[in-house]
Structure 1
């Protein structure tokens, strides 16, 4: 077992220079061991024991020859150092004597003699009083640093380190949680753990502080406060840094969810927020799926942590990026000038990293499916790309491929259906045709829509529909009889047949888990 002993040097005292008001003038500031502090006149140094830090009372600088004599006596007695309470300036001979004799010369021009002696004595002896004094001073300095308008986390840690004499640092730790008292967080998202070095003046017999040594009392008191202050500064920094991006993200959510008739109204708002809506946009849609419980929602901690990760990830990229949530789904929007090459590839590069991180945050019971839209121009194009991305993600989930990356098929009929699905008005009009089937319940309604589509797409052939559905023709005929009764439509009329088939295709295209 290693027994830790308090071993203070002049260098350890200078680690508390701000609080004590000490300034090194001459002589060595490392290595000299300080065992006690005393107040002594220059002529009384012969009475001091070795290892004493002598505070010399004076209202003005002593004569140079007196300082030279005092330094010779201090060196002979093994005095650790001399502290003058004046703004001392030494002659060259005194500087040389201090160096050769191993006597540190310090000044504390703003300090009160008795207060300085008591403060240093408490520091050397430790105890509850010194612990509280050190802690209060470090908290005061850290709070002042955090209150500056342009403060950073490093500024807070530096102020606390200098005031306490214990270096603080922020380290990555995957195990840290927002509830830990040494966690530094943005909101409830941990960004690191606050770590303090071994206390000044505490060392093992070989002079090296043992790894994992418990912090001293003052450090233990100050640590949680510094972590909290650093968290507030980090939160403010993130808020100020990403506030414009988040405001534009809110606008994107409104645009994606709005009726088509309102699209033009977003152009002015976007211009005010500095969002070039007239450029080209491509959207990724990240959709979570519970693998054990499809109806469950992702852990509450995932969304803020994922947003912060994504914002930090794209902050240094040349393209304009926005991260927005619609319920539990995440929209990743990349904006560039029209005609920029590989626009979708760059979106995929970023979005797949966000997808992987989402899976790490949520755990093995969750899969995040990524749908990628195509680059589109303007406000309507952004809505179109978002609809493509959403349908791609939902189609992959519906096909039993949660966790995949799905690109939009933009050829032929599917592209036409995507255009219809992207328009709420068109979607609602087509949805009204099949609305009577919804009264049958979700499962029976979905079965009816698939049966109806198979029948209509095979030109009203019961036999071909039966082969596709793996049913007997009579079973298909029975289903269609019920469907006709519910819809009250003439499925032999060409126009009706076309509109119903189109409605079925759009319905199934947008279904997420049917």
Structure 2
């Protein structure tokens, strides 16, 4: 009997004996025999023997038995495949567990054999990496399945050594080399296809080393948080575009003083300052075009003009003046960051 390349000779050592006994007696293999086949399938998977080669070897051995006991052969091959597939599922679960633990350690900066473990997932931490964070609009659903689908698609394009996708805190995290600028766009493309409307993606800046991955991750997550706090409409938020806001928040006393000084007169308006703040935001988002701002707000251009004049009278600041416009816009952004006036300032 010819041997199948790549299949150890002792892996199916009892196979002929089982088949000959079935051919002679007509009895099917018992539970113990089938358990041995499942164990052989497990050993084959753990040894890296291809499933096709394993089944081919079992069928090739059966050709030397006459008559071939087909019911027994079917059960033995089925048990081999079951053991093989069980081993693969176990290995996949172990790999996913190791991946989650690695991602948690990587994003929290825990340095326990981090570089060595990173190589297992194809990352070279001496390089600069960018982190993208995708947050769904509702419950995450089967995040592991979504992560696998996105990672498979990206690996097929960029290679396994360039992509790491994992589930974290109900969203997806994608780590790619900073030099691979198109990868974050590809990640966003797949998020758009698989997530329900309302999703957001935050993009950190490229940073070098394990600590750089942590920094980029925090920037990406922070970009989404800022987008929520500021009521930004964009689905994709880049930390590089939002650098002014962490600067504002570093001196909380200064931004509180700015908001109080510039915007507190709006508290005197009937119904509160929200409609006036919203009008300023719409005007700033429309680059000062009051007609476009009116469309955003769903009101008439005359209403926008009236509100801006009221803001000028109450605060003394006009968005038509370049310097005063900057002060007003910074104050409005500060108000959103501090959740004013819902949360009064001290």
Shorter chain as normaliser: what TM range?
0.5 to 0.7
From the superposition, tell whether residues 475 and 354 of structure 1 become closer, same or farther in structure 2 (CA, over 3 Å): closer
Q: Is the 8 A contact 2:128 2:212 kept in 1?
A: no
Q: Is the 8 A contact 2:255 2:334 kept in 1?
A: yes
What is the alpha-carbon root mean square deviation over aligned residues?
5.9
**In 1, Cα distance between the equivalents of 2:60 and 2:316?**
84
Counterpart mapping for 1:7-156 below 5 A: 18-21=14-17, 119-123=22-26, 130-133=27-30, 136-146=32-42, 150-152=46-48, 154=50
- The answer for unaligned runs of 5 or more in structure 1 is 1-15, 24-115, 124-129, 168-199, 203-215, 255-265, 290-295, 337-341, 438-443, 485-489, 509-514
**In 2, Cα distance between the equivalents of 1:283 and 1:385?**
5
Q: Is the 8 A contact 1:137 1:163 kept in 2?
A: no
Which has more strand, going by share of residues? 1
- Give the TM-score taking structure 1 as reference length: 0.40
- Give the TM-score taking structure 2 as reference length: 0.54
**In 2, Cα distance between the equivalents of 1:229 and 1:431?**
65
Q: Does 1:387 align with 2:219?
A: yes
**In 1, Cα distance between the equivalents of 2:279 and 2:144?**
43
**In 2, Cα distance between the equivalents of 1:445 and 1:17?**
83
Q: Does 1:332 align with 2:174?
A: yes
Q: Is the 8 A contact 1:434 1:503 kept in 2?
A: yes
Q: Over residues 119-144 of structure 1, what are the superposed CA-to-partner deviations in whole Å (9 max), with x where a residue is unaligned? A: 43333xxxxxx2353x6523322224
**In 2, Cα distance between the equivalents of 1:430 and 1:236?**
54
Q: Is the 8 A contact 1:19 1:163 kept in 2?
A: no
Which has more helix, going by share of residues? 2
Q: Is the 8 A contact 2:107 2:213 kept in 1?
A: no
From the superposition, tell whether residues 243 and 468 of structure 1 become closer, same or farther in structure 2 (CA, over 3 Å): closer
Specify the structure having the higher radius of gyration (Cα): 1
- The answer for unaligned runs of 5 or more in structure 2 is 1-11, 119-123, 265-271, 318-323, 340-346
**In 2, Cα distance between the equivalents of 1:465 and 1:17?**
80
**In 2, Cα distance between the equivalents of 1:166 and 1:366?**
56
Shift of 1:234: 1.6
Q: Is the 8 A contact 2:129 2:176 kept in 1?
A: yes
The answer for the alignment partner of 2:114 in structure 1 is: 273
**In 2, Cα distance between the equivalents of 1:234 and 1:432?**
61
**In 2, Cα distance between the equivalents of 1:426 and 1:240?**
46
The answer for the alignment partner of 2:139 in structure 1 is: 297
Q: Is the 8 A contact 1:283 1:385 kept in 2?
A: yes
From the superposition, tell whether residues 162 and 380 of structure 1 become closer, same or farther in structure 2 (CA, over 3 Å): closer
SS in 2 for 1:297: coil
SS in 2 for 1:270: coil
Task: Identify which of structures 1 and 2 has the higher relative contact order when contacts are C-alpha pairs closer than 8 Å and 6+ apart.
Answer: 2
SS in 2 for 1:131: coil
